[in-house]
A and B are shown apart, each in its own frame.
Chain A
Amino acid sequence: MSAVASAIPPRSLRGLADEWLPRIVLSPTLAMSLVFVYGFIVWTAYLSLTESRMMPSFDFAGLAQYARLFDNERWWTSAKNLGIFGSLFIGISVVLGLLIAILLDQKIRTEGALRAIYLYPMALSFIVTGTAWKWILNPGLGLEKLVRDWGYPNFTFDWLVNSNLSIYTVVIAGVWQSSGFVMALFLAGLRGVDEEIIKAAQVDGASLPRIYWKIVIPSLRPVFFSVLLILSHIAIKSFDLVMALTAGGPGNASDVPAIFMYQFSFNRGQLGLGAAAAMMMLMTIVAVLVPLMYLETRSARSAR
């Protein structure tokens, strides 16, 4: 490789174009993401340090907005809800998705149809999912009423209107939507596992659960990373699902940071506080993603 590089003849026009054209073509995208993603992250970070109210202002306020944020009970409610929702949503989606993928991988006849059925919820938007589940879980017209009409008058399933449990309905709807997608990722991963290794293990007399536990699942490691990356950012920025399902209610019992950020920035004229909340959300994502990506790159390097 290096021998070839040093032996490059004087550059022709063609060679120059080959080298520069991709850069030129990509540069608008690069410039746009620099401005509209990273530029606005910096802008938001700056706003979080100002006394901005209805409109952005530039009166420097130090960390006052963060102090206000941490003194706000509703912020802690939403942070706690994010913890509950995030861990359960990711955990259950991964376990359920992996389980379905393994079951579908047993060379069954109708796999194509089943796969489509499980994957289909991913085609819906979170708004649709949220609205449908709102009706299903509403005690007055959904599941609870149905079972009662079937002749079980004492059946109760009122999580949606119960302040202590409403965040779990968001988990239900989120898992319903995403586990099929997780399944598809794992299924693709399972198809990539070398048949020879499994056959060798079978010859050695390993049981099927043991083969999965010791050989197949560990070899899915990169898939786990992708799944965690995708699900954790869905969880942290989740807004539409909660809005459609509970609208943060009852009261503010199922509030999440994204709703908190939106309401304070745009409805209540506390742009600075909203920006501080947005920065905290960014920090959470960074705190989750950086270790994950570090582990991923390190394992990739050591595998080489």
Chain B
Amino acid sequence: MLSKRFVRTAVAGAVLALAGAVQAQQTSVEVLHWWTSGGEAKSVAELKKILESKGYGWKDFAVAGGGGDAADTALKARVVSGNAPTAAQVKGPKIQEWGNEGALANIDAAAKEGKWDELLPPVVANVMKYKGQYVAAPVNVHRVNWLWVNPEVLKKAGAQPPQTWDQFFDAADKIKKAGLIAVAHGGQPWQDATVFESVVLGVGGADFYRKSLVQLDEASIKSPTMLKSFDTLGRIKTYIDKDSPGRDWNLATAMVINGKAGMQFMGDWAKGEFTAANKVPGKDFLCINSPGTAGSYTFNIDSFVMFKQKDPAAQKAQLALASAIMSPEFQEVFNLNKGSIPVRAGVPRGKFDSCATKSMDDMAASTKSGGLVPSMAHEMAIPGSTRGAFLDVVAKFMNSDMTSQQAVDAMVKASKVK
């Protein structure tokens, strides 16, 4: 009796599983991502809805933890075993590394149909291409060179929101004198690097930034401008409270929100912390470009990279996924939830707040002026190994008595790490 029932259940289960597998092969896309927190999960659900309305299934493959490290490991295992997901959250030069492994699918068909070449800034489109063919679909743009300011603190200290480095240090001095922390910062290597790249951009300008931190030109890295950047960074260091090592970025943002600190260098994901605390942009907090970077824009773009599929039906589903990611509807909803801005032109901007619209305007302007550059700290510019070596240098500079000249020498050495 028992064994009969067992057999029946097992057979039924097997049939179901088989049917499921067939169905999955025909119409489902499997997407590996690490967007599991509140707003992000909502955004992913939106993508699922769009695809389901087109008749494709959605197989969620969320791997949380470690800022994507865990997902990365899972992805490697899947690709090596010859069972790659339809798409995975991969960004920046890592797309090229996957391309070199020969694992990526060509989605030019979707790009041509959607006119991606016209909708995306060329700098961005290049990140999404491997050997001239689209292999990834961009989701959003985060701007990194922001300075988040608590106007209340500035008023108390009698300072103005800074636009240049002189104004910045003037404001910082006044805040310090008022007994508050001038610069909220978390001493983690990636946060150190976030400040560092904004300083390089502010001191040297977009061209210098591109030459030194993107093209790794040795003469630029050795130049007095880099030395001056480290001097400026060293000066900023003196306005950071001594408890900063190891502090998470959102705790540093909370210091600005609570009025304990005046300013923070951070990308626009910080905005989510402000709005979650019911603060209004322009009134309770200001988003201004970091000092000296008015015409420039460091971007951090999330994207879904597409893996080769054997089954033609799966390939079709993959193209539908790519089109859905780039659709204005998805770009709008997703970015409203995430705090970033749409990567493509032609998305209605009515629902976005003043920080986001400023970001859109600045991105459009910097695309034209050539001030649009990839973020080094956020893995958009250079291979992970070189970026890691840069981060080691900057972290050491921030946490020891290393001189600017020693830091420059170490940067030259780090730039040769492949």
Interface residues of A (CB under 8 A from B): 53-55, 73-74, 134, 138-140, 158, 160-161, 163, 166, 246-247, 249-253, 263-264, 266-270
Q: Do A249 and B101 have beta carbons less than 8 Å apart?
A: no
Q: Provide the bound-state CA to CA distance between A158 and B245, in Å.
A: 11
Q: Provide the bound-state CA to CA distance between A251 and B390, in Å.
A: 12
Interface SS of A by simple majority = loop
Interface centre among A55, A251, A252 (most CB of B within 10 A): A251
Q: Do B97 and A269 have beta carbons less than 8 Å apart?
A: yes
* B101, B189, B385, B388: the one within 8 Å of A55 (CB): B101
Q: Provide the bound-state CA to CA distance between A270 and B388, in Å.
A: 10
Q: Do B396 and A252 have beta carbons less than 8 Å apart?
A: yes
Of the A-B pairs whose beta carbons lie under 8 Å apart in the complex, a sample of 19, sorted by A's number, is A54-B94, A54-B101, A73-B392, A140-B243, A160-B246, A161-B243, A161-B246, A163-B400, A250-B187, A250-B245, A250-B246, A250-B395, A250-B399, A264-B388, A266-B69, A266-B73, A267-B388, A268-B387, A269-B383
Q: How many A-B residue pairs have CB under 8 A?
A: 84
A137 to chain B, nearest CB (A): 10
A162 to chain B, nearest CB (A): 9
Number of B residues with CB within 8 Å of any CB on chain A: 30
B255 to chain A, nearest CB (A): 11
Q: Provide the bound-state CA to CA distance between A166 and B192, in Å.
A: 18
Q: Provide the bound-state CA to CA distance between A270 and B97, in Å.
A: 12
Q: Do A161 and B72 have beta carbons less than 8 Å apart?
A: no
B128 to chain A, nearest CB (A): 19
* Those of B356-399 within 8 Å (CB) of chain A: 383-385, 387-388, 392, 395-396, 398-399
List residues of chain A with CB within 8 A of the CB of B398: 250-251
B276, CB-defined interface residue at 8 Å? no
By beta carbon, the residue of chain B nearest A247 is B246
Interface residues of B (CB under 8 A from A): 69, 72-73, 76, 80, 94, 97-98, 101, 187-189, 192, 242-246, 383-385, 387-388, 392, 395-396, 398-400, 410
Q: Provide the bound-state CA to CA distance between A269 and B188, in Å.
A: 20
By beta carbon, the residue of chain A nearest B400 is A163
Q: Provide the bound-state CA to CA distance between A161 and B398, in Å.
A: 12
List residues of chain A with CB within 8 A of the CB of B69: 266-267
List residues of chain A with CB within 8 A of the CB of B242: 139, 158, 161
Q: Do A268 and B388 have beta carbons less than 8 Å apart?
A: yes
List residues of chain A with CB within 8 A of the CB of B187: 161, 249-251
Q: Provide the bound-state CA to CA distance between A252 and B245, in Å.
A: 11
List residues of chain A with CB within 8 A of the CB of B243: 138-140, 161
List residues of chain B with CB within 8 A of the CB of A267: 69, 384, 388
By beta carbon, the residue of chain A nearest B103 is A55
List residues of chain B with CB within 8 A of the CB of A264: 388
List residues of chain B with CB within 8 A of the CB of A249: 187-189, 245-246, 395, 399
List residues of chain A with CB within 8 A of the CB of B189: 249, 251-252
Q: Do A268 and B385 have beta carbons less than 8 Å apart?
A: yes
By beta carbon, the residue of chain A nearest B245 is A250
List residues of chain A with CB within 8 A of the CB of B244: 161
Q: Provide the bound-state CA to CA distance between A269 and B95, in Å.
A: 13
List residues of chain B with CB within 8 A of the CB of A55: 76, 80, 101
Q: Provide the bound-state CA to CA distance between A166 and B245, in Å.
A: 10
List residues of chain A with CB within 8 A of the CB of B395: 249-252
B381 to chain A, nearest CB (A): 14
